[in-house]
Amino acid sequence: MGHYVSVRGWIEIDPEKLPYVRHLLQEFPNASGENVLTPEQVRLYAQGWVLAEDSPNWTKYCFYGADIRREALAWLLAQVRMLAQTLHEGDEIGGDTAQRYDGMFCIDDDEGELSLVWYLKNGAVKEAAHSHPALDAVAQEVHGRVAS
């Protein structure tokens, strides 16, 4: 069957950058699969990107949510890094260093072996092991009720 991971996350976007981000998202299905994915898998996994163009107020969001093969994580991380760096560098060139493009992506595998978070800040993507004691306690309680 394969080893899958669930990926869900978001990136903040300035409304003026929406057309550019839309263009980047449309190009993702044409991106290389890091020599691991087939063209069909690349097109399928690129469908996980959603741009919330009609969200209220001033900040827009780009979301990703999908269950993908574990080996596709490098492909997705390359896209997340490209979005983070491109948005940040574009503002530095324009002199608008006050705008932030923060974001967060949570990754968990189907076998309980992998639990990561990618944090986006100032054009960089940092990876950390995902563990939150309060959430872990709630999850254990919920699973205990389901098993009963």
Whole-number Å distance between alpha carbons of 115 and 87: 27
At 114, phi and psi to the nearest 5? -130, 130
Domain residues for the domain of 100 are 4-147
Domain total for the chain? 1
pLDDT over 50 (residue 40): yes
Whole-number Å distance between alpha carbons of 65 and 48: 5
Per-residue pLDDT reduced to its tens digit, 54-97: 878 888 999 999 999 999 999 999 999 999 988 887 665 445 54
134 pLDDT tier (thresholds 50, 70, 90): low
Whose CA is closest to 102, among 115, 116, 83?
Answer: 83
Overall average pLDDT of the 116-126 stretch: 92
Note the pTM of the prediction, 2 decimals. 0.79
CA distances from 51 to 41, 76, 83, 148 (A): 20, 16, 13, 40
Overall average pLDDT of the 138-144 stretch: 60
Looking at residue 137, its pLDDT comes to 64
